Structure 1
Amino acid sequence: MRTLRVIGIGTGNPEHLTLQAVRALADVDAVFALDKGAEKADLLALRRAICAEHIRKPYRFVAAEDPARDRRPADYGGTVEAWHAARAELLEGLIRDNLGAGEVGAFLVWGDPSLYDSTLRILERIRARSTLPFACTVVPGITSVQALTAAHQILLNRIGAEVLITTGRNLADGVLVADSTVVMLDGDPAFDHLDPELTIYWGAYLGSPDEILLSGRLGTVGPEIRRLRAEARTRHGWIMDTYLLRRP
């Protein structure tokens, strides 16, 4: 029986790895990764560096090009469904060809496997086909939500108040802002439709040497966040950022 470990690795700081994650990596035979192209080559390089540091035996690093998808589809749900199906087909072949019976494979997941990541969903697709049996364990990691609140030295929630974690797409579609709302996967933040009196805590490249932080009244710092974000994206070729909105 093959074993797969889905390991959360935090948001860019190699020290985000937990002791459990370090132990889970030590005896891995193969690490699987999806290559997202030259613009995000440093994300793949970080995974390679983590493996070199913590795997204590000869291992294989198996990378393949991530299937392409439309980033501005008319049918978002259908597009993501097709993308996940393509990923499942690709990864099933990689696992079958590069991981033998009795061996241990690993997926290193940015942040935590439970939060806006498709790895577990895709592995469940593969399992459902019943053509490639495997056992699976999950090791939690530090999320961008935790890294953001730590960087700004704030609590995620106020006393007895609710917290909403959502996406930029949902926020743009009119999702109501909770007392504290964390927004992830916002490819083009637009704040004009929001209450300018909200407080925003924004962070990009959290936990990495390139970390950028800004906070304040949304109506005041919103334009500056958009400017900094655009400059950083041009400089690095990609950006990962998260922000928290809080009612006055």
Structure 2
Amino acid sequence: MGTVFSFDVRGGDPDAVRAALDEAVAELHRVDEVYSTYRENSQISRLARGELTVEECDPEVADVLELAAEAERVSDGWFSRRYAGRLDPTGIVKGWAAERAADTLMAAGAAGVSVNGGGDVQMAGMPGPGRPWRVGIADPLRPGGLAAVISAAGVDRLAVATSGTAERGAHIVDPRTGRSAVTDLVAVTVVGPSLTWVDCWATAAFAMGSRAGLTWLESLPEVEALLITAGDEVRCTDGLAARLG
């Protein structure tokens, strides 16, 4: 998946949690072997070249492709399963894998889990009695500064994903042109229960631009967002204030 994952796990039986953490890490490595487009022999690379059918891949591959297809439908094509005309579902895989890792640890009895995959975070449970998880959102125009702090107070699960140009430059593609998305945005942060989806929605909204992106994000259930333009204008969905803390 081309990124670093980190875990913050609280509570639970130490032996059970340690075993679950080992399982989650091993699964992330396996996911990378199956879905990486940088590995010539990965199942996704072979599927894209027509050397495998979906039926010949691991059963979950069909499920991931359907999730990516659903993201494409909900975003009216602004999220895409393809890159440069080639099958590439990696835009959904990182969030999906991080969310499953958090589920594995919670199922093992952890009281709270935070899984960070390249700056996108899936949280579940609580880090301590009466203490919610909190995630700082980096300010893309002020290195070292924070644009906001997101709190998971009052919910059992919360995910935060950011798409933008600050860390990786102009890497987000406009599916309609096949070229780098040219918008007035520098960053979009989306908040919701599932990292699988908010990661997709952040990418799609960035490609749409601030006006269309904000309108579309407002229409999605259980989703809030913060958008920052190149002109240093901050735009938020109506319900984001309830998640600040």
TM value normalised by structure 1: 0.27
TM value normalised by structure 2: 0.28
If asked which structure has higher relative contact order (CA below 8 Å, sep 6+), I would say 1
